[in-house]
Amino acid sequence: MRVVVAITLMLSLFICGKGRAQDITWYKHIAPIIHNNCTPCHRTGEAAPFPLVTYEDVAKRASMIQRVTEARYMPPWKPDSHYVQYANERRLSDEEISMIANWATHDMPKGNAGDAKDKQNFVPGTVYNRPPDLVLKMKESYRLEGDNQDHYIVYKIPFELADSMNVEGVEFITNNRKVIHHANYEIDDVPGMDIYNTADFVDYTNEKVKYFENYVSYRKRIMYFGGWIPGASMESYPEHIGWVMPKRGVILLTVHYAPLGKAEDVLSGIQIWTTKSNITRRIKNESLGSGSESQKQIQPFFYLPPDVVRTFSLDVKIEEDRSLLYVWPHMHLLGQVFKAYAIKPDKDTIPLVYIPVWDFNWQEIYWFPKMVKIPKGSTIHIEATYDNTINNPYNPNLPPALVMENMNTKDEMMTLVIVTLPYKDGDENISLK
Ligand code: HEC
């Protein structure tokens, strides 16, 4: 018996590293871990089901928090950190996980408020310590029926500003995150045309309305294209890099809503942070694979017969030196594995993203810590595996059915969005944090 106690004691000393388990307190150790890694989603208005802000919020769920952190289920982070580490990585260290475990199993001591390393009053999380300079939202909130169906709706948000604006950060906003499956938005420069004459929204769920058909006339000058998916954060750029918000135009916001059992109201839009310094280098968002020009080069031809597991690949040549800021892999419910890397002309490879266990609910735009140079003549290689069998618990068709390439959740996609700039000397040293 005494031996067991001694071993347990040694073990807990070993795991905790920094001294006795009882020394681990909320103020000194746990609050900073929670506020940095959990609170951005676990607070009112965000995606998670309950807040993790105050001592009480966390202490009453301590054993559940111990369990989900030890299993690395929370915070959700899907890319393999051994392949690439990103600036926006959400991952606890082994030491942080054992600190939580020790705290949870030793009566969750609160400690001294004087030890608090962070301010405790969590300020909702953007990278800027100031409110946005521009908020543009739908004219009125939209009533979604609880009809257990997917809905696809394009909202038009026209705007006229005093002047154009240099953008250094942009974020999708909504008052009802949990109903949104994903959102895309484009900002179109429409200097002359009437931006008020068409409807404020088009529902293309049931009618065979072609994607954007009603608004196609605006799309000649897309200034920016962005998106939000559950778990995703905002986009921001280093100095002199970004895009320009035109003086007059429209935002076309496409929202895909997940099936709902009861009616809900939603009001969404975007918010923008601007900068006085010139934007001398404009970013380019580009899709590779489904929904882009390179779609037809996917090998083999992209479709998924029932009862198959199949891997596809795509090679896209890069014609000039480019600097890569972000990557955003995208598949739907049959997706299993996603990997992308660049092969340089000298055959060296640059790892871009590897998601060994794809999870549709946790997609994200991944930021490189510093810009990555993709030299002229490189090939971006993408490979993705899909499981259209009954063994895939997320398969939307039971029994499995033929699945083609398209935007709907029940169809499939193989897309890598890359955000790049023409390369300039020294870009490798510019931090994106
Ligand atoms: C990117 C957003 C996000 C972050 C960051 C995040 N969570 Fe969550 N969390 C969620 C969402 C959404 C759910 C509910 C859906 C689910 O369980 O997958 C959830 C569920 C949970 C649950 C309930 C799990 C269950 O089995 O019901 C716990 C406990 C939890 N989170 C703790 C944490 C802790 C602790 C952290 C930080 C170490 C954290 N979360 C970070 C979004 C997040």
Closest CA to 271 of 103, 60, 61, 126: 126
Number of structural domains the chain divides into: 3
- Evaluate whether residue 374 is within a structural domain: yes
Q: Please tell me if the CB atom of residue 51 comes closer than 6 angstroms to any atom of ligand 1.
A: no
Q: Are residues 145 and 108 in the same domain?
A: no
Q: Are residues 140 and 59 in the same domain?
A: no
Q: Please tell me if the CB atom of residue 42 comes closer than 6 angstroms to any atom of ligand 1.
A: yes
- Residue at which a domain ends, from 82, 115, 148: 115
For ligand 1, atom 42, which residue shows the shortest CA distance? 48
Q: How confident is the model at residue 210 (pLDDT cuts 50, 70, 90)?
A: low
CATH number of the domain bearing residue 241? 2.60.120
Ligand 1 center–CA 267 separation, angstroms: 24
What integer pLDDT is reported at residue 63 of this predicted model? 97
Q: Are residues 425 and 295 in the same domain?
A: yes
Beta bridge partners of 329: 416
Q: Are residues 274 and 375 in the same domain?
A: no
Q: What residues have CB less than 8 Å from 140, skipping those under 6 apart?
A: 267
- Evaluate whether residue 124 is within a structural domain: no
Q: Are residues 275 and 358 in the same domain?
A: no
pLDDT digits (tens, 9 = 90+) for 228-287: 876 667 788 888 999 999 999 999 998 988 788 999 999 999 999 999 988 999 888 888
What integer pLDDT is reported at residue 121 of this predicted model? 53
Q: Are residues 423 and 376 in the same domain?
A: yes
Low-confidence winner among 43-57, 188-202, 224-238 (lowest mean pLDDT): 224-238
- Residue at which a domain ends, from 246, 281, 316: 281
- Evaluate whether residue 82 is within a structural domain: yes
Distance CA 385, CA 382 (A): 10
What integer pLDDT is reported at residue 140 of this predicted model? 94
- Evaluate whether residue 125 is within a structural domain: no
CA distances from residue 134 to 33, 125, 196 in whole angstroms, order as listed = 32, 17, 20
Q: Are residues 371 and 272 in the same domain?
A: no
Q: Are residues 292 and 421 in the same domain?
A: yes
Ligand 1 center–CA 75 separation, angstroms: 6
Residue 347's region, left for phi above 0, alpha for psi from -120 to 50, else beta, is: left
- Evaluate whether residue 259 is within a structural domain: yes
Ligand 1 center–CA 78 separation, angstroms: 14
Is pLDDT above 70 for 128? no
Q: Are residues 247 and 325 in the same domain?
A: no
Ligand 1 center–CA 260 separation, angstroms: 21
For residue 36, the surrounding DSSP H or E stretch is helix 31-37
- Evaluate whether residue 128 is within a structural domain: no
Mutate to test the pocket of ligand 1, among 29, 37, 42, 122 (most ligand atoms within 8 A of CB): 42
- Mean pLDDT of the 64-89 span: 94
- Residue at which a domain ends, from 249, 281, 313: 281
Beta bridge partners of 338: 355, 384
Which atom of ligand 1 is least distant from the CA of 361?
Answer: 18
Is pLDDT above 80 for 44? no
- Mean pLDDT of the 203-211 span: 62
pLDDT digits (tens, 9 = 90+) for 384-394: 999 999 999 99
Tell me what the pLDDT averaged over the chain comes to.
87
Mutate to test the pocket of ligand 1, among 33, 37, 38, 96 (most ligand atoms within 8 A of CB): 38
Q: Please tell me if the CB atom of residue 97 comes closer than 6 angstroms to any atom of ligand 1.
A: no
Q: Are residues 212 and 275 in the same domain?
A: yes
- Evaluate whether residue 315 is within a structural domain: yes
Residue 386 domain boundaries: 285-429
- Evaluate whether residue 10 is within a structural domain: yes
Cis peptide before 230 (omega within 30 of 0): no
Which atom of ligand 1 is least distant from the CA of 58?
Answer: 35
- Mean pLDDT of the 328-333 span: 92
Q: What is the bridge-based pairing of β-strands 281-282 and 241-245?
A: parallel
Q: What is the CA radius of gyration of the chain?
A: 24
Q: Are residues 325 and 216 in the same domain?
A: no
Distance CA 103, CA 97 (A): 10
Is pLDDT above 60 for 194? yes
Q: Are residues 269 and 304 in the same domain?
A: no
Q: Please tell me if the CB atom of residue 352 comes closer than 6 angstroms to any atom of ligand 1.
A: no
